[in-house]
């Protein structure tokens, strides 16, 4: 297995784990009446996530060239979603709005802050990657 393949498999697995950990943290921080549940309460959800990860890995390894571009876009959107979730949770804490939201309208500002912070992080690292190295 080539070295870049190891990064693809590790990156996909790490993204699944980070997303599964951040979802309950966000729910606990954002909602006024949150329910204490696992992000992966049964094997069915875990199987669906692992199947999706396997499809992405197969597309990168053996898929036709035409499918690699959509897989890359999905990957970037997934990274942005995880960063948005992390920064939104942080914004809720900084803005002192934790455990107050009763609808998605109540978390619009923290979501916007999280999306902008995640986008800024991606842009800064892209700039550094392209221009500094």
Structure confidence at residue 23 (pLDDT): 83
pLDDT at 86 over 90: yes
Structure confidence at residue 12 as a pLDDT band (50, 70, 90): low
DSSP assigned state of 40? S
Structure confidence at residue 117 (pLDDT): 96
Q: How far apart are CA 109 and CA 15, in angstroms?
A: 25
| 44-80 pLDDT per residue, tens | 887 887 787 777 777 777 778 787 788 778 778 888 8
The chain-wide mean pLDDT, for the chain, equals 82
Pick 17 or 121 by higher pLDDT.
121
Q: How far apart are CA 9 and CA 15, in angstroms?
A: 10
| 87-99 pLDDT per residue, tens | 999 999 999 999 9
Beta-bridge mates of residue 31:
101
DSSP assigned state of 106? G
Domain spans in the chain, listed from the N-terminal domain onward = 3-132
DSSP assigned state of 43? H
* Whether the Cβ atoms of residue 23 and residue 39 lie closer than 8 Å to each other: yes
Phi, psi of 66 (to 5 degrees): -65, -25
Structure confidence at residue 1 as a pLDDT band (50, 70, 90): very low
Average pLDDT, stretch 89-112? 94
Average pLDDT, stretch 31-42? 80
Distance, CA of 107 to chain centre: 18
CB atoms within 10 A of CB 82: 19
Q: How far apart are CA 2 and CA 127, in angstroms?
A: 27
Pick 76 or 117 by higher pLDDT.
117
Average pLDDT, stretch 32-42? 79
Structure confidence at residue 11 (pLDDT): 57
């Amino acid at each position: 297995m080539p070295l870049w393949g190891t990064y693809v498999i590790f990156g996909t697995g790490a993204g699944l784990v980070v997303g599964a950990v951040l979802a309950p943290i966000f729910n606990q921080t954002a909602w006024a009446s949150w329910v204490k549940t696992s992000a992966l309460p049964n094997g069915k959800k875990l199987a669906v996530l692992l199947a999706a990860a396997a499809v992405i890995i197969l597309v990168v390894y053996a898929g036709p060239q035409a499918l690699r571009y959509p897989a890359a876009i999905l990957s970037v959107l997934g990274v942005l979603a995880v960063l948005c979730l992390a920064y939104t949770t942080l914004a809720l804490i900084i803005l002192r709005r934790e455990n107050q939201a009763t609808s998605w309208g109540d978390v619009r500002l923290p979501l916007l802050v999280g999306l902008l912070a995640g986008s800024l992080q991606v842009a800064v690292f892209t700039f550094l990657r392209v221009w500094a190295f």
